[in-house]
Structures are given as structure tokens and as C-alpha cells.
């Protein structure tokens, strides 16, 4: 295709170049527009920018960084992911692909740049995977590599619709919070155990579209509509956790605040919005799911499905 149009994270993305990671998106437009173009060579970035994020491997190797400039906006880049220039109003992205394969520069685009843009448009973003179950959005929080994605895919195997992987964009509505579909791809940790079987991925209408040493990128059928958020589960895997998943009430506001996907944008109005969203989250059904390391995705999925049936 010559370009791309898709609505993801509550944004109507228009791109001059094909975006394979957005193929299959079917959410309706929201009116929040974001234009994307791409180039292979660098362009001018003004002096005087401020480094606001510097993510590194345990050995010190850089993963990605974010710089801020009052007029130019944000420069988000990583040695394996290219450079992305996001305007201060979140309406334009210029991707400097640096001759990298699509799966490299588009990975940072969907994992960091588009969620950042959603935040600039007034939505709130959380480090969570999510599904739609009986018309309601169900979010799964948890530490990195806790198994949020595999649990979400397992719930989809049981009849839910895939809403978001790793980043959930939320909008404040008149009756609560609305979860917007993310991109219709999931990053499945190759080191995590257990992983969904290839047969299960196929049954979800999915296919593996990229593989690296850390993860498999899987395209799945995504939810076609935003959905009201009704429940939130904190996946808490522990070495001393129970053999069978156990649910307990959870209401720690600090953990909800810490689950935001972006703490580098600290404008007072944004922080007030974050507090407001967390207050709305605390009114929902919020539970911790305790599980030991041997608990499989299928066991977790069955337990969550049963729990949702009880709560319905």
C-alpha cells in the first residue's frame, strides 16, 4: 500500500509510508489527528534540548532516550530503533528510519511514540495489556515480563477480543473510563514461560510478523470499538506465590499511579489528569492476582475467566 490510515491509541494516524504494524486496525475515527512521514537521513534538531528519559540495559547499553525542546517537541531515539521527532502538540511525527528494517523503527513508533502522542492529545496511558470481555474492557497490570501479554492472548483464546498490548490508552468519559484499541500486534516475550502455542496464535487469526532475540511480534485480530473499563487485575508473580492463582482486593493508590506508562511529562495539568484517572480506576473492581512461577497462562486465563463470570 502507498500509505496508511488507522485509528490506534485513540489517534487517527495518517502516514505517507506503509506501516505494517498498524495493518488490521479497525477502530472508528476519533477526530484526534496525527500525521506521520519518514526519511532515511537526519534533520536539524535545535540546541538546548533537555534529556528527560534515558532507558538502558543492565550493562549500560542504551535502549532509547527522550529529549524535550519547548518549540521542537520531543526527540525519541534508540540505536536499534531509529529517531522519531514528535511535535509538541502531538499532531506530527517524523520518523528517521536510518535504513533500519521496518520492524525495528516501527517497534519504537508503536511502543513509545504513539502512546506519547496520545498523552499530548489529553488521553492517559497505562502500562497494561487489555481485552474486551462481554463488551467491557478488562486491564491487566504487572511488572515487565510478568506475563500480561500471554494472559491477554489466553483470554482472547477463551472468547475475549484483543484491545491493547503493554500500553492502554484511557479517555475520561461521562460515565467512567473508556479503553481505546491499541495496535493489533502483541509482543510475546520469547524468554517467558509458558508462551502461547503457534496453534493458539493461528486460532486467534494471528501470525508472527517479526522475531528478534527478545520477543515475537504477533498480529492478532483487534477489538473494533473502544470499550468502557470495568475491571483491573494486577498480575503478581512471586517465587513464593501460590500454585493456583489467588485473588485478593487491591487498593494501593501508589501502585496505580506508578502504572502510568509515561512519567516524563510532568506538566501540572497532566499530573492533575493522571490523579483524576487513578481516582476513577480505584472505583472499579481492582484485584491482585497472586501466582507462583509454575502457574501457566492457561491456568491464569481460566482463573480470571471464572472470576469475571462471578463478578458479572
> Residues 4-47: pLDDT tens digits?
899 999 999 999 889 999 998 999 999 999 999 988 666 778 98
- The pLDDT of residue 5 is 93
- For position 8, what pLDDT does the model report? 97
pLDDT surpassing 60 at residue 248:
yes
pLDDT score for 2: 65
Pure H helices in 210-251: none
Give the domain ranges of the chain. 4-121, 126-311
The per-residue pLDDT of the chain, averaged, comes to 89
- Give Cα 88 to chain centroid, integer Å: 21
Q: Is the pTM of this model over 0.85?
A: yes
Element (H, E) at 258: helix 253-258
pLDDT score for 250: 86
Lowest mean pLDDT of 2-6, 131-135, 163-167, name the range: 2-6
pLDDT at 194 over 90: no
Peptide linkage before 182 cis (omega within 30 of 0) = no
Q: So what's the pLDDT on residue 134?
A: 93
Confidence of residue 200 (pLDDT cuts 50, 70, 90): low
Q: How confident is the model at residue 202, as a pLDDT?
A: 56
pLDDT at residue 215 greater than cutoff 60:
yes
d(CA 223, CA 162): 6
Burial letters for 16-38: b for 16+ Cβ neighbours within 10 Å, e otherwise? ebebbbbebbebeebebebebeb
CATH of 126-311, one of 1.10.357, 3.40.50, 3.30.565, 1.25.40: 3.40.50
The reported pLDDT for the residue numbered 93 is 96
Q: Residue 44: what pLDDT?
A: 79
Decide if pLDDT at 180 tops 50.
yes
What share of the chain has pLDDT > 70, as a percent?
92
Please report the pLDDT score of residue 190 as a whole number: 66
Amino acid at each position: 500500500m502507498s500509505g496508511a490510515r488507522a485509528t490506534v491509541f485513540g489517534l487517527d494516524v495518517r502516514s505517507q509510508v506503509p506501516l505494517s504494524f498498524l495493518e488490521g486496525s479497525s477502530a472508528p475515527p476519533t477526530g484526534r489527528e496525527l500525521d506521520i512521514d519518514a526519511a532515511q537521513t537526519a534533520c536539524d534538531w535545535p540546541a538546548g534540548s533537555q534529556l528527560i528519559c534515558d532507558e538502558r540495559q543492565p550493562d549500560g547499553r542504551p535502549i532509547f532516550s527522550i529529549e524535550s525542546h519547548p518549540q521542537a517537541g520531543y526527540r525519541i531515539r534508540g540505536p536499534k530503533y531509529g529517531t522519531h521527532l514528535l511535535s509538541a502538540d502531538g499532531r506530527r511525527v517524523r520518523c528517521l528510519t536510518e535504513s533500519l528494517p521496518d520492524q525495528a523503527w516501527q517497534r519504537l513508533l508503536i511502543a513509545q511514540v504513539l502512546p506519547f502522542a496520545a498523552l499530548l492529545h489529553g488521553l492517559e496511558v497505562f502500562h497494561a495489556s487489555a481485552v474486551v470481555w462481554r463488551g467491557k474492557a478488562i486491564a491487566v497490570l504487572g511488572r515487565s515480563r510478568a506475563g500480561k501479554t500471554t494472559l491477554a492472548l489466553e483470554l482472547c483464546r477463551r472468547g475475549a477480543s484483543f484491545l491493547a498490548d503493554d500500553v492502554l490508552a484511557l479517555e475520561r468519559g461521562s460515565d467512567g473510563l473508556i479503553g481505546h484499541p491499541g495496535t493489533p500486534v502483541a509482543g510475546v516475550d520469547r524468554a517467558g514461560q509458558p508462551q502461547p502455542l503457534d496453534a493458539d496464535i493461528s486460532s486467534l487469526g494471528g501470525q508472527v510478523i517479526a522475531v528478534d532475540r527478545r520477543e515475537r511480534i504477533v498480529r492478532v485480530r483487534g477489538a473494533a470499538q473502544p470499550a468502557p473499563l470495568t475491571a483491573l487485575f494486577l498480575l503478581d508473580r512471586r517465587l513464593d506465590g501460590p500454585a493456583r492463582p489467588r485473588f485478593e482486593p487491591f487498593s494501593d493508590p501508589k501502585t496505580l499511579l506508578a502504572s502510568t506508562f509515561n512519567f516524563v511529562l510532568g506538566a501540572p495539568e497532566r499530573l492533575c489528569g493522571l490523579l483524576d484517572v487513578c481516582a476513577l480506576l480505584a472505583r472499579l473492581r481492582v484485584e491482585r492476582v497472586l501466582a507462583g512461577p509454575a502457574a501457566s497462562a492457561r491456568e491464569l486465563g481460566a482463573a480470571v475467566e471464572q472470576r469475571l463470570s462471578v463478578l458479572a
